Amino acid sequence: MFHQITRTGEVIGEFGRLYEQQYAVALFNKVRFDIEGGGGPQPQLLRRKAPLENRSIFSGALFQFLEENKKWRNRFLFVPDSYNMNYYDNKASHERGLHPKGTINCAGYKVLTSMDQYLELLNNSLPDVKAKVGNAPFLKCATEFLLILWHPYARHYYFCVVTEKEQKKWHAVFQDCVRHTNDGLLEESKVQTPAFTDSVRLFRQAHGQYGTWEMMCGTPPQILANLVMETLLPEVRDLITPGLKGKMHERQRNWMLICDAVYGLVVRQAQAQYEAVVQSCEAGRPLLEASIRTDMDQIITSKEHVSNKIKAVALPKAEKLLKVSIQPYISSILEALMEPTSRGFSEVRDVFFRELVDMSKNTLNDSTKEKLAEHMEKISMLAFHPVKMQSCYEKVEDLSLDGLQQRFDVSSPSVFVQRAQILMREQMDDAVYTFEQILHQSLEDQGPEGLCKSIQRCQDRVIKKFDYDSSTVRKRFFREALLQIFIPYMLKQLTPSVASVSLAAVAAFPLSLILLTYPFSELPRFQELIFEDFSRFILVENIFEEVVLHSVMKDIMMAVKEAAVQRRHNLYRDSIVLTSSDPNLHLLGDNPAIDWAGEFGTGPEEGQGQDDEEGEETGDTGEAHRRRRMKQVVSMIQLDGSPILVNESCLEVPSVDGIPEEREGEVQDADALSSPEIVHQDPVKVNATTSKEKKKAPPPPVQPENSPSPALTNGSILKGGERRTQRRQTAPMWNESLFGLYAAVNLDFVFLFFTMTGILYTINLTIA
């Protein structure tokens, strides 16, 4: 216990010193950006502010293994908009508003579906105690369809279901929870987030760790706890392992319980100390900001002067390293990133398009606003539907960097996979939300007779905007990913190893001695060129990393530009000028969320009336009543009155068939839908006509499996199934300045234009 407290205090103490330095730099970057503004392409799609307000993601029943009594019990699992999974004894406990039996924060977890995968990870965590593949560690599985949540430090959770379809559905939900909770740093925080990520990166580089880090996930206290455990866990293992007694399974189980207890203590201690550091920095923010605004011009001039001096010394050696070790690999790595990512975004577009086509077909049969509201309620949360989005996410999971991971110290491609998946979900939600706003506006001055035509017109309009935005987002993602791969390698080559430097030694080194560890003997003297009043906002190490970034950025931009003109990647689309196509569209972004059921619906949602009556009879509290009425993105709640199987079997969980999915032949029917003769006729007559024609018409020919889809890339469908070639523009896509590039970079990788302190990898100045 004392050793854990001491180690955590040392790590957080060193992190705090780095955070105070990077906080001032991040504040300067933010103020300068607010004053001077930025460029770059503007998004065409709207972004909703609270997409999951009054929504829950998932709920249902399944088996959970309880370590306390080593038995399987049925559990009701509820996933709110926070994506933290709450589990209860049964559904009634949740509806009454009782506290859950437990809550799982999925940040840092991996979802496993077989015991072999679990045993492999378990053996790696405790190398001296190994279990044979095929043997259960300490639990006998109730079914063959497992779902295991594994964490390198925290408690493991074991679930199972009885069918393969249920397993796939729950696996998609668990993966969605992991993906969302891993992305725990707020992009809206323009100062705290860059300062935090830079401080963590600098701390790891002080210990010789330059590559990507899989455990950079969750909230700041969780990330700091992972940082502590990275060094603490081996020490605890060496101390505890010799004392573990009993059979192999018991030793494994006891070790996991010890890890979970230590990790819980570290998280609580890290949270308290991190909050104290942040409060201290925030208290001094007004004075720092006033100083920045007063001396902005002088600070910029001083920074540029020092930057030119360092560039003259550092740039030649950086460019030599770039030419020999980086340039030959840019194209191959970019291709490895582009293929699966482009397939994933293309699948997002196809899923969105199929949902709208399905809605259009149904409105032909019933072109009322009530029917439209029913469909829009489902489509509005499409981006957060774990099962329907799973096909998009799976495309990116094929991303592989084999042969390059060891050379460039990329621990795992999962860092890039999850980032791409988050961007895909954001793009889907932006497209759906934009479609909602445009369609709602068009319905205000139009009756039901032109409903299908309005849907088609809004669909084509949004698809074009999606093509533009997805192209821009992917190119930014590729630039960020390449920087995240190459910059650490270059910094590691230009900086001597510091693996043997202790925390105490690093803390005791003055800046002048730290700078001497760089391969450039001239570098320390540049600190003297910075006025003392400006030294908080201009750090030599940040300027050095900016020089390294400039040396490689030109080659990365050129590689992405050359790949963008290839039609198979569809990255050329943002060269089409759309900035003036909808001058008033962004005004709709300030509108409140549309309640389709409340505005156009004719009555309560399915099951609501019954809930209302039950609430009145039982005298439920308002909170419990709200819990039952909360809309779900994916409804998995067991219907009242359904039979309960013996031994609380998790068969009471509905199968995948319970979720509406696309039907076969959907695209073929859509060909007829887009025909002008049908769109402009009365829906009743069309149904009668088409039903007669179906009786006479021969069955449609079977389309070969690999034949091209009749759907065009711009969202329209050719009449009669004929295809026509779309005109593609090949104009140069890069008309952005370097200033605009950095202004558009996402804070998840924390690249900022001005001092470049947001770059994920910088030279570590704390080397012995």
pLDDT, tens only, 63-89: 999 888 888 999 999 999 999 999 999
In the chain, the amino acid numbered 686 is V
Q: What is the pLDDT of residues 553-575, one digit of tens each?
A: 999 999 998 888 777 776 766 55
Helix axes 327-365, 369-379, angle to 10 degrees: 150
Q: Are 432 and 380 in contact (CB under 8 A)?
A: yes
Strand 85-88 vs strand 102-104: parallel, antiparallel, or unpaired?
antiparallel
Name the more confident of 746 and 389.
389
pLDDT of residue 224: 96
pLDDT > 70? residue 537: yes
pLDDT of residue 700: 44
pLDDT > 80? residue 408: yes
Q: State both tokens at 366.
A: 């019933």
Mean pLDDT of the chain: 74
Q: What is the band of 526 on the pLDDT scale with cuts at 50, 70, 90?
A: confident
pLDDT > 50? residue 212: yes
Among 165, 23, 34, 244, residue whose Cα is nearest residue 636 = 165
pLDDT of residue 593: 66
Q: Are 658 and 169 in contact (CB under 8 A)?
A: no
Does an H or E element contain 345, and which?
A: helix 327-365
Q: What is the pLDDT of residues 268-306, one digit of tens each?
A: 999 999 999 999 999 999 999 999 999 999 999 999 998
In the chain, the amino acid numbered 303 is K
Task: Give the mean pLDDT of 2-13.
Answer: 82
Task: Give the mean pLDDT of 365-380.
Answer: 80
Q: What is the 3-state secondary structure (H, E, C) of 545-558?
A: HHHHHHHHHHHHHH
> Domain segments of the chain: what residues?
1-33+56-324, 330-506+576-591
Q: What is the pLDDT of residues 96-151, one digit of tens each?
A: 989 999 999 999 999 999 888 888 888 777 766 555 544 555 678 888 899 999 99
Q: What is the pLDDT of residues 575-631, one digit of tens each?
A: 555 544 555 565 565 666 666 666 666 444 443 333 433 343 334 555 555 555 566
pLDDT of residue 104: 96
Among 279, 156, 153, residue whose Cα is nearest residue 224 = 153
pLDDT of residue 186: 87
**DSSP per-residue string spanning 123-145:** HHHSTTS---TTS-SS---SSSE
Q: Are 155 and 65 in contact (CB under 8 A)?
A: no
pLDDT of residue 624: 56
pLDDT > 90? residue 501: no
Does an H or E element contain 484, and which?
A: helix 451-494
Alpha-carbon distance values, 445 to 440, 441, 468, 602, 743 (Å): 10, 8, 29, 20, 39
Q: Are 49 and 168 in contact (CB under 8 A)?
A: no
pLDDT > 80? residue 752: no
pLDDT of residue 298: 92
Q: What span, in angstroms and rounded, lies between the C-alpha atoms of 79 and 177?
A: 8
Q: Is the dihedral of CA 644, 650, 655, 656 positive or negative?
A: positive
Strand 631-632 vs strand 55-66: parallel, antiparallel, or unpaired?
parallel
Q: State both tokens at 633.
A: 């993105």
pTM of the model: 0.76
pLDDT of residue 627: 57
Name the more confident of 237 and 385.
385
Task: Give the mean pLDDT of 471-498.
Answer: 85
Alpha-carbon distance values, 595 to 518, 592, 598 (Å): 60, 9, 5
- What 3-state class would DSSP assign to 56? strand
Residues 6+ apart with CB under 8 A from 634: 57, 58, 173, 385, 386, 387, 659
pLDDT > 80? residue 707: no
Task: Give the mean pLDDT of 316-325.
Answer: 90
pLDDT > 90? residue 235: no
Q: What is the band of 240 on the pLDDT scale with cuts at 50, 70, 90?
A: confident
The vertex-424 CA angle with 455 and 54, nearest 5°, equals 70
- What 3-state class would DSSP assign to 603? coil
pLDDT of residue 630: 66
Q: What span, in angstroms and rounded, lies between the C-alpha atoms of 202 and 194?
A: 12
Among 93, 673, 5, 756, residue whose Cα is nearest residue 365 = 673
Report the percentage of the chain scoring pLDDT > 90: 37
Q: Are 66 and 72 in contact (CB under 8 A)?
A: yes
pLDDT of residue 337: 92
Q: 251-260, 389-398, 645-654: which range is least confident on average?
A: 645-654
Q: What span, in angstroms and rounded, lies between the C-alpha atoms of 309 and 336?
A: 37
pLDDT of residue 67: 82
Q: What is the band of 234 on the pLDDT scale with cuts at 50, 70, 90?
A: confident
Question: Hunting for tokens 């323009």 — which residue is that?
Answer: 190
Residues 6+ apart with CB under 8 A from 637: 59, 60, 91
- What 3-state class would DSSP assign to 51? coil
- What 3-state class would DSSP assign to 382? helix
In the chain, the amino acid numbered 74 is N
Q: What span, in angstroms and rounded, lies between the C-alpha atoms of 426 and 429?
A: 5
pLDDT of residue 330: 92
pLDDT of residue 309: 87
Q: What is the pLDDT of residues 453-481, one digit of tens each?
A: 888 889 999 999 999 999 999 999 999 99
Fold of 1-33+56-324: PH-domain like (2.30.29)
Q: Is the dihedral of CA 427, 428, 430, 435 positive or negative?
A: positive
The vertex-135 CA angle with 130 and 140, nearest 5°, equals 125
Name the more confident of 177 and 752.
177
pLDDT of residue 94: 92
Q: State both tokens at 278.
A: 């942040």
